[in-house]
Structure 1
Amino acid sequence: MDFSIKPIDAKTGLTGAKTGVIAVGVFEDKKLSQAAQSLDRKGQIAAALKSGDISGKAGSTLLLRGLDGVAAERVLLVGLGKEQELSEKNFVSAVQATARAFATLGAADGAIALPLDQVRNRDAAWAVRSAVLAVRDAGYRYDTTKSTKEAAPGGVKKIAFLSAAADGVVKSAVAQGLALANGVDLAKDLGNLPPNICTPSYLADTAKRLAKDYGFGVEVLDRKQLEALKMGSFLSVTKGSDEPPKFIVLKHLNGKAKDAPVVLVGKGITFDTGGISLKPGANMDEMKYDMCGAASVLGTFRAIGEMNLKLNVIGVIPACENMPSGRASKPGDIVTSMSGQTIEILNTDAEGRLILCDALTYVERFKPAAVVDIATLTGACVTALGHHNSGLFTRNDDVHDNLANELLAAGKTSGDTAWRMPIEDAYQEQLKSNFADMANIGGPPGGAITAACFLERYTRKYTWAHLDIAGTAWKSGAAKGASGRPVPLLTTFLINRADGKA
């Protein structure tokens, strides 16, 4: 899919735009957007609204052909909701509906003339990025492991945004939107791959390809190096698997040399059986998605690499499988983490925190400006927040906590939202152990919170946030597949930092 920005011709306006289809907005209460009015020379659009052929509700559509005095072959009317309340949600619904309609047409090219600069509290650049993401999401297909590939989708292949404000800022928004969409697609592809293909070694090879394509620094540590680093907690998880563990480090050092990096740490459990604490068989196939934290880091690196983002960013991915065998860790085992703290493993299915804690200790060497870990960590977070918001935890529960506010704002801007969850010392009591410095679980009450409390013990030398994406990283049922989240949130967060909006 090709995207571009084209200014509206000063002489002919929208009526002179030669294209297979042009999308314009209409509102509820039978009102036309300015673009729709300019095309309605003979009152055909107004008549369609008056007759009730289209309601104007956000996401509704109606295709008209052969409008008098209009060069475009087709005009797609797209509902935007109430005129005075053009919200982010209604705009995104409109561009998603546009993408679905464009995909079914026999036109090779199309144009979007929705009111990009009229979305409440957003600018035209935001609208363009959102539209690019919506169109690409609608066109995403996974057929990598099918013997017969799906036929290439028909419909519009080239989309131009028609805007009176076709300046450099809006044009760069197209490039940003494409880079972001490419990052999301990579995260989806990695998540959707089966676990016999997407192994820790596959993730490491993906990181190496990204490094080659975008000039990143890359390092992959193997078992012997992890043993030398005394990562006993991480290594305890991989003991039951024949797949070798990998500890992946990516470096995008495109900021000022003196600037401390932002570090992203992604959980990379490429398949999680639960280990000796074996999971139920139903839906266990979805445990291939337990590496979506790692996938989101790799997807974000692809996006910022394409953008050539002026920022220092380091990605760290501890990757392994969690399998049962005669070598596997057992409930009751005690292991020593890289930090020197000891952990009583009460449940081998609480393995994500065991690999992350050593990664969080490892990143101290970078003297980071901030660290964000991303993990499909707990089913408890799904119970608490469902599938709409990722769980956000930071050590400082003060409402003025800058890192939390940055991440929340990036989530709202990108539509990849998170919700602030509590984390306080009272919950730490649940992690007490009679035999080690801590247990790896704190019981059912507040399970997502105690998991975050466990990680917090390893992050006290820097500013830190934790994103629990167990409810947002993939979809189940008929729409089963990786979502690519939270690549939009993370990338937007980094863009804001690079732009000095932190």
Structure 2
Amino acid sequence: MNFEIQKRSLLSVTQGELDGLMILWPAATLPDTAAKDPISRLLAGACKKGDFELKPNCTLALYAHPEIKARHVVVVCSADNTPAAVRAAMQAAWSCLKSFKIKHLGIHAVGECPAHSIQAALVSLAEATYSYGTTLSQPKLRSLKQVQVSLASVQADAVDSVAYAQALISGIEVAKEWANRPANHATPTHLAQAAQNIATGRSFKCEVLGPKEVAKLGMGAFMAVAQGASEPLRFIVMRYNGAAAAQAPVVLVGKGITFDTGGISIKPAPEMDEMKYDMSGAASVLGVFKALGEIRPSINVVGLIPATENMPDGLAVKPGDVVTSMSGQTIEILNTDAEGRLVLCDALTYAERFKPKAVIDIATLTGACVIALGAVRSGLFSSNDPLAQEIFQAGETSGDACWRMPLDDDYAEGLKSKFADVANVAGRAAGSVTAAKFLQRFAKSFAWAHLDIAGTAWRSGAAKGATGRPVGLLLQYLVSAAKTTPQKSAKAKAKVKPKSA
């Protein structure tokens, strides 16, 4: 999909050569029976007859109207032009058009439409039109190719918002692609190849470490998880250098368990296929780097992905085994299904070498977080109040919301072990918090945050599939951080050119 934005009146939009046209009409705006454009007159008549109400998500569909060049027209009422209202309105409007072959779509917002609302509209449209097809013999291809956004008044931030939305959608769909792939099509080696393909160009670097290099680093916890898998582990190090070399980077650490059987503590069979999504944290890092390559913000970012399967082989780690992490701390593995924190703890230790401004790990870590927050908000844990606030605000701005959870020291009591420095699990109570407390032990030398995305990274049931979250939150955080970080050397700002998502 390619996006463009134009300054056009509602009358002008009705004369555009389009397959489909969506009109976002705010509930507070009364249609005028004497207006020059046919949409306003038709809407006024429909309101008078009771066929259209100025209530959120109410729609009016037209076909082949003689005064309008677009074949299909849908007017949808949005509560207002806030991002949340626009997202809901777009979903309602597309439900009227999705059965038709729409290649060239126009979206016109009546009244003032803030930049973030334009972004929300395009992301919502991309979500509605996305379909996975990599492993299908006859994939359903997206028919929509061109989207024209029109406003009565186009400000500079609106133009930037369209370019940003283009990059964000590109990143979200990379994350969806890799999370949706079956585990035999998304092995650690496949993830490493994807990272190398994304991290190309002057501002990027990518290094892939194998079992020998990881052993040399002393990543005993990561290796313990991988030792039961025949697929070799990969430790992926991606770098985006958008600012001066002296500027401390933000490090993103994505959990890359490409399939999680639970190991010896094996999971029950129902819905185990969904454990291909256990690398959604890694997929989000890939997606963020894809988007960074398009918007080129002035910030340095490092992406770390410890990638492996968790399998119940004869060589697999056993409950009660004690391993030594890269930090030197010993860990008693009481449950091999709590493997995500084991691969992450070594990656957090590795992150120290970058002297980071901040480190954020992203993981489908605990079912307990699903119970606590459901599928609406990701769980946010942090030992640094300013960082936590910045991440929370990025979630609110992007619509990819999170919620801060507690990290009281008392929660760590259950992690005590008689046979090692720490156990990898505590009891069932507050499971998402105790998992975060485990990770916190390995993140004491930098500002750290942990995002538990177990409830938000994918959907089950009839709508089964990856959501691409939290790419939106992470990208918003990085862009905001780039704007507020003083630059030590002047750099020309790259012009953003729309690309296919």
- Fold shared, TM-score > 0.5 on shorter chain: yes
Q: 1:499 aligns to what SS in structure 2? A: helix
Q: 1:113 aligns to what SS in structure 2? A: strand
Extract unaligned runs of 5+ from structure 2. Answer: 487-501
Q: After TM superposition, list the pairs within 5 Å mapping 1:86-165 onto structure 2.
A: 86-105=81-100, 108-115=103-110, 117-118=112-113, 123=114, 125-150=115-140, 152-154=141-143, 157-165=145-153
Residues 1:179 and 1:153: Cα distance change in structure 2 (over 3 Å): closer
Q: 1:57 aligns to what SS in structure 2? A: coil
Q: What is the deviation of 1:325?
A: 1.5
Aligned to 2:218: 230
Aligned to 2:496: none
AA of the residue aligned to 1:139: T
Quick check: 1:497 aligned with 2:481?
Answer: yes
Aligned to 1:447: 431
Q: 1:299 aligns to what SS in structure 2? A: helix
Residues 1:251 and 1:34: Cα distance change in structure 2 (over 3 Å): farther
Q: After TM superposition, list the pairs within 5 Å mapping 1:280-299 onto structure 2.
A: 280-299=268-287
Q: Deviations over 1:191-239 (max 9, x none)?
A: 1111112011110000111122575111111111111111111111011
Q: Normalization by structure 1: what TM-score?
A: 0.91
Quick check: 1:24 aligned with 2:23?
Answer: yes
Quick check: 1:2 aligned with 2:2?
Answer: yes
Residues 1:71 and 1:462: Cα distance change in structure 2 (over 3 Å): same
Aligned to 2:74: 76
| Distance of 1:291 and 1:108 partners within structure 2 | 33
Aligned to 2:498: none
Q: Deviations over 1:330-359 (max 9, x none)?
A: 111111110111111110110000010000
| Distance of 1:355 and 1:26 partners within structure 2 | 49
Quick check: 1:319 aligned with 2:307?
Answer: yes
- Tell me whether 19-28 or 221-230 shows the greater mean CA deviation: 19-28
| Distance of 1:345 and 1:390 partners within structure 2 | 26
- Asked whether the equivalents of residues 327 and 346 of structure 2 are also in contact (C-alpha less than 8 Å), the reply is yes
Q: What is the deviation of 1:498?
A: 1.3
Aligned to 2:489: none
- Asked whether the equivalents of residues 9 and 151 of structure 2 are also in contact (C-alpha less than 8 Å), the reply is no
Quick check: 1:50 aligned with 2:56?
Answer: no
| Distance of 1:141 and 1:216 partners within structure 2 | 29
| Distance of 1:487 and 1:18 partners within structure 2 | 34
Residues 1:311 and 1:35: Cα distance change in structure 2 (over 3 Å): farther
- Tell me whether 208-217 or 177-186 shows the greater mean CA deviation: 208-217
Q: Deviations over 1:163-208 (max 9, x none)?
A: 1332433222111111110111111110111111201111000011
Q: After TM superposition, list the pairs within 5 Å mapping 1:479-498 onto structure 2.
A: 479-498=463-482
| Distance of 2:464 and 2:34 partners within structure 1 | 38
Q: Normalization by structure 2: what TM-score?
A: 0.92
- Asked whether the equivalents of residues 176 and 307 of structure 1 are also in contact (C-alpha less than 8 Å), the reply is yes
Residues 1:15 and 1:435: Cα distance change in structure 2 (over 3 Å): closer
| Distance of 1:193 and 1:66 partners within structure 2 | 40
Residues 1:288 and 1:70: Cα distance change in structure 2 (over 3 Å): closer
Aligned to 1:388: 376
Residues 1:42 and 1:206: Cα distance change in structure 2 (over 3 Å): closer
Aligned to 1:471: 455
| Distance of 1:41 and 1:418 partners within structure 2 | 39
AA of the residue aligned to 2:209: L
Larger relative contact order (C-alpha < 8 A, sep ≥ 6)? 2
Q: After TM superposition, list the pairs within 5 Å mapping 1:161-240 onto structure 2.
A: 161-212=149-200, 215-240=203-228
- Asked whether the equivalents of residues 14 and 39 of structure 1 are also in contact (C-alpha less than 8 Å), the reply is no
Residues 1:382 and 1:106: Cα distance change in structure 2 (over 3 Å): closer
Q: 1:104 aligns to what SS in structure 2? A: coil
- Asked whether the equivalents of residues 205 and 239 of structure 2 are also in contact (C-alpha less than 8 Å), the reply is yes
Q: What is the deviation of 1:18?
A: 4.7
| Distance of 1:215 and 1:19 partners within structure 2 | 38
- Asked whether the equivalents of residues 27 and 33 of structure 1 are also in contact (C-alpha less than 8 Å), the reply is no
AA of the residue aligned to 1:414: S
- Asked whether the equivalents of residues 232 and 338 of structure 1 are also in contact (C-alpha less than 8 Å), the reply is yes
Residues 1:436 and 1:36: Cα distance change in structure 2 (over 3 Å): farther
AA of the residue aligned to 1:128: I
Extract unaligned runs of 5+ from structure 1. Answer: none
- Tell me whether 241-250 or 88-97 shows the greater mean CA deviation: 88-97
- Tell me whether 221-230 or 46-55 shows the greater mean CA deviation: 46-55
- Asked whether the equivalents of residues 64 and 74 of structure 1 are also in contact (C-alpha less than 8 Å), the reply is yes
- Asked whether the equivalents of residues 35 and 114 of structure 1 are also in contact (C-alpha less than 8 Å), the reply is no
Quick check: 1:305 aligned with 2:293?
Answer: yes
- Asked whether the equivalents of residues 382 and 470 of structure 1 are also in contact (C-alpha less than 8 Å), the reply is yes
AA of the residue aligned to 1:22: L
CA RMSD, Structure 1 to Structure 2 (Å): 2.3
| Distance of 2:294 and 2:93 partners within structure 1 | 26
Q: What is the deviation of 1:145?
A: 0.8
AA of the residue aligned to 2:84: K
Q: Deviations over 1:273-310 (max 9, x none)?
A: 11111111111111111000000000010011111222
Q: What is the deviation of 1:146?
A: 1.4
Q: What is the deviation of 1:36?
A: 11
Aligned to 1:63: 61
| Distance of 1:469 and 1:41 partners within structure 2 | 43
AA of the residue aligned to 1:44: L
- Asked whether the equivalents of residues 15 and 71 of structure 1 are also in contact (C-alpha less than 8 Å), the reply is yes
- Asked whether the equivalents of residues 33 and 45 of structure 2 are also in contact (C-alpha less than 8 Å), the reply is no
